[in-house]
Structure 1
Amino acid sequence: MGDQARTAWLAWLARERRASANTLEAYGRDVAEFLGFLARHLGGEPDLAALGALRPADLRGFLAERAAQGDSTATRARRLAAVRGFLRYLTRHHGMAALPLGALRGPRPKPPIPRALSAEEARAVATEAGDAYATGRHERPAMQAARDVALFALLYGAGLRIAEALALNLGDAPLPGGEAALRVMGKGAKPRLVPVLPAVREAIAAYLRVRGPGAPGDPLFIGARGRRLDAAVAQRALRAFRRLANLPEHATPHALRHSFATHLLGGGADLRAIQELLGHASLSTTQRYTAVDAEALLATWRRAHPRAG
């Protein structure tokens, strides 16, 4: 019964949920592994009654076996999602008894360690990104080049999220001789004050000279046609410069924010201060950067210490 039910469920996913071929393949494999586990666990192929009598301990046993087989946390989380979906399908479409699985929590993948650029790479992006407009056809190359330098200098120099920077208006522009700190509206409409380096202020002033005048409520960073710059355009601009400057694949706008925090930490900044500058609600989010800094120290040790090999 198990294999027939699995086949019917996959057909339903393809027809009703329009699941992709990759999803169907992965979920089909996951449920097949689960049914194989149950056959060993229960001493025979499970029928609908046996499946309806499962308990959370049975699923935990399956996940434990998969962990022993080397499954990663993310893979086990996906397997659990597939099994839940399969059992839910049997309940709704084949009259199987509902299972008490609501309290069962899957394995939580660890958040990835942020990938920062080196100080030299980040500096290159923040000062030379406009070089990508030296070749090719662009509607306003001088404006676009100065805009990208100003934008990426702001991301690296102040640790802003790309959405925070693109939400700024002309009246917010941090210019030489202006307010000491930039007021930024972060996630959850939570404001924070961020100091802006003189070099960043100069880059923004240089951009505004070629951008042209506007009202205080107009967008600070604009596209070639004068509308507020889209994040996808900024990401595409950095990809073009990344290829030009032979930078690593993780050189993205968000990597500049990671680099800001990592380089501050490496320079001795207090973790609480970095939390405030980044606008993190929880210190645990900011603590991810300690892992980045530790990795950098280990990499330096491996390169320099004569016994590291």
Structure 2
Amino acid sequence: MSEESETSAGRSRGFARPGYSFDVKLWKVTKTGRKSRPYRLRWVVAGRVHGGTFTTSALADSRRAELWQAMRRGEAFETESGLPESEVRAAAEVAEASAAEPSLRWFEFCRKYVAGRWRTSAAKTREGMADGLAAVALAMVMREDGAPENGCLRLAFRWGIVPANAGQEPPAELKSAYDCLTVADRPVTDLLDPEVFEDVMYRLGYRLDGKPAARETYKRRRRVLNTALEHAVITGELPENPLQKARNKQVGSSAVVDRRVLLNASQGRQLLTAVSYVGSWERSRGRRLVAFYAVLYYAGLRPAEAVGLRLSDCRLPETGWGTLTLRETRPVSGKQWTDSRERHDRRGLKAREASTDRPVPIPPVLVTILQEHLKRFGTAKEGRVFGNERGGVVGSSTYWRVWEEARGYALPPDRVESPLAGRPYDLRHACITRWLNAGVPIAEVARRVGNSPEVIHRRYHGCIDGHEEAANAKIAKALEEEGDTA
């Protein structure tokens, strides 16, 4: 080895007992070249090499310091594990204590873990934790004949994981599944069983119907499980995180926007017009949402941002461009996940500090649409620009249903069955793509829509037209200039 090392040979006070040695060489921290755990520490005990990898250099240096202190104290090291004698004794005591006490079971562990994170988590984060841990729970239940279906087990887990439901009787339709979760669930230590953990990984990446889950769903569930397992290691329920050894399997669709969902200008206008024909004239169900879809299509807002938009956030001049200053989102999470017990949580902007805002310039066509909307319908409760007939928050189910009906009015049958503008969110995709194709710099597009430039480039690089031709023209010009100087 070429690395510098320090040795404890010669510092011993006598002979080491069998299986231990004072002949220890400790090497300096090196880099592994990997992204996940880029730092390596190695040491040699009686000619046998031992080591470990770490996520940060500080952790590696800290571990090296611990081993060096053991060497300075004159401790013998176990040749099999490479650990100082004091650490071997401590591990044996922990193992003895664990054997005396039954391992915590999965459902109870999840309850304690979620309860500890509940107060500091947003409603969407709480729902994401419940979804990821519920997926794992399907692999952590020992099945017998007549066991509840996976769908019921999942619903029972999501109900039981809410701290407010602790000690309450579950709904009648979930009682059988809830009893199964609390009686037939496996100990947390069963996650170290390769067969059990293989089933866990399957549940992360697949839906209840056996089809692959979306790639983002898989990644979110894996993050949830990883954080929970790290907590289990910290609390002593697991000696190590088994997920660190599992390969990051890619499932589901990629995160790149599908070009087939994108609208052209004519289709966008037709769909906004079709929205106004949805519902009866008296209830104005569709007409109330024309401007809602317009801010997605012309300003690139997320639906949750449009739901939370207030009149005080809008600068709508008589002529020229206006501005929407975004400060709040109202994502839909469900009553069981929010502190207010309302379906819509109240949050700051995505991926930003709670006190920051995001000004978005809007073109004259959108200024006019918003002025007409406010003139006809006024504002909803709390000064919000958009509301339902009662002035309440526009629900996601409402704007999804209206959009589905509008597609049926505006598009021919073959297009209705296609992915074209299949979701309201696709209006945001169309807006971002339009700006990129118009030549707006990626950094400015990212600022307006609240993403990073890296995300914009990764998700929309396949949706930008004309760049290949422009690049070819520049290369051809450079070749011509080289020919002139030759």
**SS at 2:325 equivalent:** strand
Residues 31-70 of structure 1: matches in 2 within 5 Å?
none
Quote the Cα distance in structure 2 between the aligned partners of 1:225 and 1:139. 13
Asked if structure 2 preserves the Cα contact closer than 8 Å seen for 1:182 and 1:193, the reply is yes
**SS at 1:227 equivalent:** coil
**SS at 2:387 equivalent:** coil
Q: Provide TM-score, normalisation by structure 2.
A: 0.40
**Larger relative contact order (Cα-Cα within 8 Å, sequence gap ≥ 6):** 1
Asked if structure 1 preserves the Cα contact closer than 8 Å seen for 2:288 and 2:373, the reply is yes
Q: Mark the CA change 1:127 to 1:14 in structure 2 (over 3 Å): closer, same or farther.
A: same
Task: Give yes or no for the alignment of 1:278 onto 2:469.
Answer: no
Instruction: Provide, for residues 135-159 of structure 1, a one-character-per-residue CA deviation record: whole Å limited to 9, x for no partner.
Output: xx46422xx4442221111111100
In the other structure, the counterpart of 1:193 is: 359
Q: Mark the CA change 1:103 to 1:170 in structure 2 (over 3 Å): closer, same or farther.
A: same
Larger Rg: 2
Quote the Cα distance in structure 2 between the aligned partners of 1:138 and 1:250. 27
**SS at 2:277 equivalent:** helix
Q: Mark the CA change 1:212 to 1:271 in structure 2 (over 3 Å): closer, same or farther.
A: closer
Aligned residue among 383, 390, 397 for 1:232: 397
Q: Provide TM-score, normalisation by structure 1.
A: 0.60
Quote the Cα distance in structure 1 between the aligned partners of 2:213 and 2:404. 31
Asked if structure 2 preserves the Cα contact closer than 8 Å seen for 1:126 and 1:156, the reply is no
Quote the Cα distance in structure 2 between the aligned partners of 1:165 and 1:138. 23
Question: Which letter maps to 1:159?
Answer: G
In the other structure, the counterpart of 2:372 is: 206
The structure with the greater share of residues assigned to helix is 1
Question: Which letter maps to 2:407?
Answer: R
**SS at 1:182 equivalent:** strand
Q: Mark the CA change 1:74 to 1:172 in structure 2 (over 3 Å): closer, same or farther.
A: closer
Q: Which moved more, 1:171-180 or 1:157-166?
A: 171-180
Q: Is there any run of 5+ residues in structure 1 with no aligned partner, and where?
A: 1-5, 24-50, 64-70, 89-96, 299-309
**SS at 1:148 equivalent:** helix
Q: Mark the CA change 1:208 to 1:19 in structure 2 (over 3 Å): closer, same or farther.
A: same
In the other structure, the counterpart of 2:257 is: 113
Question: Which letter maps to 2:431?
Answer: F
Quote the Cα distance in structure 1 between the aligned partners of 2:363 and 2:257. 27
Quote the Cα distance in structure 2 between the aligned partners of 1:98 and 1:214. 54
Instruction: Provide, for residues 277-297 of structure 1, a one-character-per-residue CA deviation record: whole Å limited to 9, x for no partner.
Output: 1101x3221111112226998
Aligned residue among 320, 323, 341 for 1:181: 323
Question: Which letter maps to 2:395?
Answer: D
In the other structure, the counterpart of 2:295 is: 154
1:130 CA displacement: 0.7
Question: Which letter maps to 1:148?
Answer: L
Q: Mark the CA change 1:220 to 1:266 in structure 2 (over 3 Å): closer, same or farther.
A: same
Q: Mark the CA change 1:268 to 1:224 in structure 2 (over 3 Å): closer, same or farther.
A: same
Task: Give yes or no for the alignment of 1:262 onto 2:262.
Answer: no
In the other structure, the counterpart of 1:20 is: 151
The structure with the greater share of residues assigned to strand is 2
Q: Is there any run of 5+ residues in structure 2 with no aligned partner, and where?
A: 1-138, 155-190, 203-210, 230-237, 328-348, 470-486
Structure 1 ranges of 4+ moved more than 4 A? 12-15, 51-55, 71-75, 97-100, 247-250, 294-298
In the other structure, the counterpart of 2:90 is: none
1:243 CA displacement: 0.9
Q: Mark the CA change 1:138 to 1:111 in structure 2 (over 3 Å): closer, same or farther.
A: same
Q: Mark the CA change 1:98 to 1:166 in structure 2 (over 3 Å): closer, same or farther.
A: same
User: RMSD across aligned C-alpha pairs, in angstroms?
Assistant: 4.4
Aligned length: 231
